[in-house]
Amino acid sequence: MIVRTWKLKLRLSLAVMLLFGLIFAIVILAATLLGYGGNYTLFVILGLGIIFIQYLIGPSMVEKAMGVKYVTEQQAPELHQMVSELAMNAGISKPKIGVSETNIPNAFAFGRTKKDGRVCVTRGILNTLNKDELKAVLGHELSHIKHNDMAVTTLVSAVPLICYYIALSFLFSGDSRNGGGILIGVLAIAAYFLGQLIVLFISRTREYYADLGSIEIGGKPDKLASALYKLVYGAAKSPKEEVKDIQGVKAFFLNDISNARDDIEQLSQLDLNRDGEISEIELAQLKSKNVNIKTSDKVMELFSTHPNMLKRIERLAEYS
């Protein structure tokens, strides 16, 4: 487990460094080609401003979008007990616990810092999962808080936006000095798209990292796999309008609710006895089973906030 955690941390760190190296290269290139660099501090200030605003209002936006209501220990004793135990295992402060009344089964964690962590569940997940599955899901969410990857996501998401602003500034400013302005604009657009792909890679990596974190603090691989299967199924059968209403915060969820209908088709092959769950035996069989993932699904994964669900559960089989 320690080795795998180290590898995930390394991937995350390298992706963040690459992303910030990208923006640094664009700014330096712009200053070099045009012969001055004073105005480019504006983009740095703009980026920092975006990050700071996201940092300040992010939690409130998530709360409003999901209609989160925080619950006391008296209102949800079992939920508080599970979160307290997992937080102790994770070595973090117990986060605030909230419930969203949406019927789409899911859970999410957010906050500005580890001490400001909040973990929330939907009414749908409380009505869908059994106790062990819910514990594994909560372990995943508390791992996001432990890893503090919410702050990383906030930080890196502003970088492609800065590249986009640079591109707009040079492509439509009329400054074609030695063709440098147009060249910088084109390169900034390319950096914007590459930056978006890196941000999505970071988002997918943090999900693998949190899956492993759940197991390390008390969740069971088969219970998390079964929970993911049920969440996908729940989202797939939910009304499209209800899914659309909360798509804006889907990056915080355990799975990409927009792809649920495609995911359920892939995952159904794992539920061998068709009982709606993935058992320990069914998960273990994945270790010796070749899972076929279509090329189109592999390509689509590059543009997704979450890993391919079949690959994700296959990795959980390695931990069982």
Residues contacting 220, CB < 8 A, separation 6+: 132, 136, 280, 320
Nearest to 246 by CA among 155, 120, 127, 136: 120
* Cβ–Cβ under 8 Å, residues 5 and 155: no
In angstroms, the CA 164 to CA 215 distance is 39
CA angle 57, 61, 65 (to 5 degrees): 180
Catalytic residues: 141
* Cβ–Cβ under 8 Å, residues 106 and 138: no
- Amino acid type, 63: E
In angstroms, the CA 67 to CA 76 distance is 17
Residues contacting 6, CB < 8 A, separation 6+: none
Residues contacting 300, CB < 8 A, separation 6+: 259
